[in-house]
Amino acid sequence: MLPTLTTLQKRKPHIYDPSWPCPQCNSSPETLNHLWTCPYILPEFSPFNTFKTLLLDLRTVCLEKFLSATPLKPLLDSFVAEFTALDCWDCDPPSPSYLGLTRGLIPISLTGFLGTYFSSSVIWSILDTPLHDFHFDLYVQIWLCCSVFFHHWESAQGITNKMKSSSVGPSPTLRPSSQISPDFLTPPVRISRKKNTIKLSYAWHITSCKKVWTGTNSPSK
Ligand SMILES: [Zn+2]
């Protein structure tokens, strides 16, 4: 799990006050979903604006690839309109399918629709690379920027690396040593974790996509 502020607040409430909202917009808790939908006041730095742009790019790239692929049966005239109207592209407000894409979950609505025209191997081969690129861009364009911002925000709060590496909290009796998780002992420095985060997210993305793909989400239904 990405070390969002809400995660850090659960791990180290003596450093990260549980009442602190997202430091970028000051309006909501910084959860995983909020990371991609934060309405930061400066448009050029708004994660939500960036996310919407990346998602629409993903939709365009996928649509072009499917239009040039070999279908099982001729595409109906309504194919483009139906594809672009799928709920996974709904940004305002963000649909569950839309947020699921950030976690590598391919919506049933998408695979179900495509499955009426294409074989599962064609669908998977087309979605694979654009989704991979989408996740890479999410982490580079949103997560990395948020991490840089967060690092400066921590400094402004007087939170030092020494404090973060300390396992001593105000209520040690609540955390007997045998129950302290490795995560609790690891300094939650978000930038230094980034490379591993990307690798982990890729592995997780591919695994979860294939899990959905081979599960009840068969496009042949
Ligand atoms: Zn925010």
Domain ranges of the chain: 51-147+162-167+178-213
CB-count burial class (<10 Å; 0-12, 13-18, 19+) for 131: buried
- Tokens read off for 52: 């919407």
> How many angstroms does the Cα of residue 195 sit away from the middle of ligand 1?
23
> Is pLDDT at 9 greater than 70 in this prediction?
yes
Q: How far is the CA of 209 from the centre of ligand 1 (A)?
A: 28
For residues 145-158, average pLDDT: 87
Q: How far is the CA of 94 from the centre of ligand 1 (A)?
A: 15
Å from CA of 8 to ligand 1 middle: 15
Give residue 146 CA to ligand 1 midpoint distance, Å. Answer: 10
CB 140 within 8 A of CB 95: no
- Residue 131 Cα to ligand 1 midpoint, Å, equals 24
Is the pLDDT assigned to residue 200 strictly greater than 70? Answer: no
Does the pLDDT at position 186 exceed 90? no
* CA dihedral sign, ordered 15, 186, 142, 114: negative
Q: Are 34 and 81 in contact (CB under 8 A)?
A: no
What pLDDT does 167 receive? 65
CA proximity to 61, closest of 109, 129, 113: 129
Average pLDDT over residues 166-192: 39
pLDDT at position 149 is 84
Mean pLDDT computed over every residue of the chain: 76
Looking at residue 64, its pLDDT comes to: 97
Report the alpha-carbon distance of residue 20 to residue 200 in Å, rounded: 28
Please state, as a whole number, how many other Cβ atoms lie within 10 Å of the Cβ of residue 196: 9
pLDDT at 162: 85
What's the gap in Å between 88 CA and the centre of ligand 1?
A: 22
pLDDT for residue 205: 35
Question: What is the distance in A from the centroid of ligand 1 to the CA of 118?
Answer: 39
pLDDT at 217: 35
Give 43's pLDDT tier (boundaries 50, 70, 90): low
pLDDT at residue 21 in the model: 93
Q: How far is the CA of 117 from the centre of ligand 1 (A)?
A: 40
> Is residue 152 within 8 Å of residue 124, measured between CB atoms?
no
Q: What is the helix, strand, coil percentage profile of the chain, to 5?
A: 60, 0, 40
Q: 34 CA distance to ligand 1 centroid (A)?
A: 6
Contacts of residue 215, defined as CB under 8 A and 6 or more positions apart, other chains included, come to none
Q: Report whether pLDDT(208) > 60.
A: no
Higher pLDDT, 192 or 157: 157
Residue 161 pLDDT greater than 80, yes or no: yes
